[in-house]
Amino acid sequence: MLTWTNVSRLWMIEHNAFRPGWLASTPRFFALCRALEPLGWQTTLVGGRRNLLKRHPRIEQAFPGEWVMTRFPIGPWPRAVDYPYVRNLWIMAQRSRGNGDLIDDPETQWAPRLERWARDRAERDGPPDVVWGITYADLRSPVAARRVSERLGVPLVFEFHDPCPYPGYELRPAEVRALERTLLHASAIVTTTSTYASWLSDRYPEVADRVHVVYSSAPPVPPHLLAQGGRGASGSDGRLTLLHTGTLYGGGARNARSLVAALPFLFDRRPEAKGRVKLRLVGSGPGMAEAKMESKRAAVAEEVCTEPPVRPERIWRDMLDADCLVLIKHADPRFASQIPGKLFQYFAMKKPILTLAPEGETAEIVRRSGLGLVAPPDAPHEIADRLVDLWDAKTDGRSLVTPAHSYIDQFSEANMGLRVAAFLDELVG
């Protein structure tokens, strides 16, 4: 039993925490809190989304740690101008006066307000042992975390949940200064891929010895659902069901066009599969409508089903029922340093993963897991080859994959917690 005297306190700071949709960074908060709690770390998540409880009344039931939602405006404007139309007028006025750098400087945005909040909280309840700031494609949160760390005199962990700068985006001078100042101050730097860790270490060799790779984790399957099994596990109905969950951005980003276009090639080679293959796309984004249009063009509309997002428990059920899980990654090489978070959720299923990704870290991890069938994301003929393999295995009653359990287990929540707790304990001595 943990007591107050042997519990260390961690403040995780992310202004977009619990944003609508509970996107990729939010499940990571959940996982870190679950994994660290039995290892002696009490976590407080500090976010900046106002009126959040109206959007997500289930936070108290879903989030395992303490959470705090700050109520002050997020931006370099006074509270009096915190309305969209007034704010935009104020920003235009500042830029016309040559003060555009003020608008772009993360030091003038959320950071000073959070710094004052942290001072008051520390005076009331005592300071944290470590502060953890997380990028979500911008620097507001890690800069705010650095200022809290400086104010309270505690170690800082700087996490690049997403690359910063983001692919295709050049940091402004004020942002570069904020990034480098925060990097140099950080006691530990966390990346979610080895690719980005290598880039960061090459770019800033003075911090290379502080960089830690902490992949996302495979959450445990709810036991009551696992006990029930799923249709896909039995394979008794003679159908092949493919499932993709999450956002499809469409255009040149993550999309399902090539996968849909591969279905006619499958049916040409295996005519008996027509009407017995179902591609389910569950999620949101412009790519959903794009996939539906492609299915009509390719005359496979009956085989492609687009569905809106569902609750987490329903996602687990859908994955249990599927024969194969689909992972789609950006073809653009600029996104090589990103790994879709759903890969590790898929790992928990121990099912075949049809991975549409260019060669790189994602494809390598999938292959080493023993679960992957990999094809380029923009090559319908090669994708069709993998679909034929899946269909033949389904009809023959055999498995195409052999899970490498020891390799997959390193991505479990428990092992992630052990890795994180190890360097956190070092930071606090």
Cβ count within 10 A of residue 152: 17
Sign of torsion over alpha carbons 7, 8, 13, 14: negative
Long-range contacts at 178-185 (CB < 8 A, ≥ 24 apart): 178/105, 178/106, 178/107, 178/139, 178/143, 179/139, 180/204, 181/146, 182/133, 182/139, 182/142, 182/143, 182/146, 182/156, 182/158, 183/158, 183/207, 185/146, 185/149, 185/150, 185/156
- Which pLDDT score, from 0 to 100, does residue 369 have? 95
pLDDT of 320 strictly over 50: yes
Report the pLDDT averaged over residues 229-252: 74
Q: 48 phi and psi, to 5 degrees? A: -130, 20
Q: Are the C-beta atoms of residues 329 and 357 closer than 8 Å to each other?
A: yes
Task: Please write the tens of the pLDDT for every residue from 13-38.
Answer: 988 776 655 555 677 878 888 899 99
Report the pLDDT averaged over residues 371-381: 93
Least confident residue range of 265-279, 325-339, 367-381, 398-412: 325-339
Whether the bond between 165 and the residue before it is cis, its omega within 30 degrees of 0, is yes
- Which pLDDT score, from 0 to 100, does residue 234 have? 42
pLDDT of 2 strictly over 50: no
Report the pLDDT averaged over residues 308-325: 87
Longest Cα separation, the chain:
72
Report residue 403 CA to chain centroid gap: 23
Question: By C-alpha distance, which of 284, 308, 292, 216 is closest to 259?
Answer: 292
Question: By C-alpha distance, which of 142, 144, 223 is closest to 188?
Answer: 142
Q: Are the C-beta atoms of residues 102 and 76 closer than 8 Å to each other?
A: yes
The two tokens of residue 318 are 């859908």
* Greater pLDDT, 305 or 220: 305
CA-based R_g, the chain, Å: 23
Residue 68 bridge partners (DSSP)? 46
Average pLDDT, the chain: 85
Report residue 338 CA to chain centroid gap: 9
The two tokens of residue 427 are 């930071």
- Which pLDDT score, from 0 to 100, does residue 309 have? 84
pLDDT of 422 strictly over 50: yes
- Which pLDDT score, from 0 to 100, does residue 161 have? 86
Q: Please tell me whether residue 418 adopts helix, strand or coil conformation.
A: helix
Task: Please write the tens of the pLDDT for every residue from 51-109.
Answer: 455 555 566 666 667 878 776 665 666 666 666 778 778 778 877 887 777 777 788 77
Q: Is 107 left (phi over 0), alpha (psi -120 to 50) or beta?
A: alpha
Task: Please write the tens of the pLDDT for every residue from 108-117.
Answer: 778 888 888 8
Percentage, residues of the chain above pLDDT 90? 51
* Greater pLDDT, 20 or 171: 171
CA distance 162 to 192: 8
Which domains occur in the chain, in start order?
4-217+412-427 (3.40.50.2000), 223-408 (3.40.50.2000)
CA distance 368 to 408: 9
* Greater pLDDT, 332 or 174: 174
Report the pLDDT averaged over residues 321-337: 86
CA distance 198 to 176: 19
Report the pLDDT averaged over residues 333-359: 88
Task: Please write the tens of the pLDDT for every residue from 181-232.
Answer: 999 999 999 999 999 999 999 999 999 999 999 998 887 777 777 666 666 5
* Greater pLDDT, 380 or 85: 380
* Greater pLDDT, 310 or 381: 381
Q: Are the C-beta atoms of residues 255 and 379 closer than 8 Å to each other?
A: no
- Which pLDDT score, from 0 to 100, does residue 3 have? 40
CA distance 245 to 171: 32
Sign of torsion over alpha carbons 312, 316, 319, 325: positive
Q: Are the C-beta atoms of residues 293 and 304 closer than 8 Å to each other?
A: no
- Which pLDDT score, from 0 to 100, does residue 263 have? 96
- Which pLDDT score, from 0 to 100, does residue 136 have? 76
Q: Which residues contact 190 (CB under 8 A, 6 or more apart)?
A: 157, 158, 159, 160, 211, 212, 213, 214
Q: How far apart are the first and last CA of the chain?
A: 22
* Greater pLDDT, 123 or 34: 123
- Which pLDDT score, from 0 to 100, does residue 274 have? 93
CA distance 82 to 80: 6
- Which pLDDT score, from 0 to 100, does residue 391 have? 95
Cβ count within 10 A of residue 277: 23
* Beta strand segments in 228-335, E: 240-245, 277-282, 304-307, 324-328
pTM equals 0.86
Q: Are the C-beta atoms of residues 374 and 400 closer than 8 Å to each other?
A: no
Q: Are the C-beta atoms of residues 350 and 372 closer than 8 Å to each other?
A: no
- Which pLDDT score, from 0 to 100, does residue 150 have? 96
- Which pLDDT score, from 0 to 100, does residue 34 have? 86
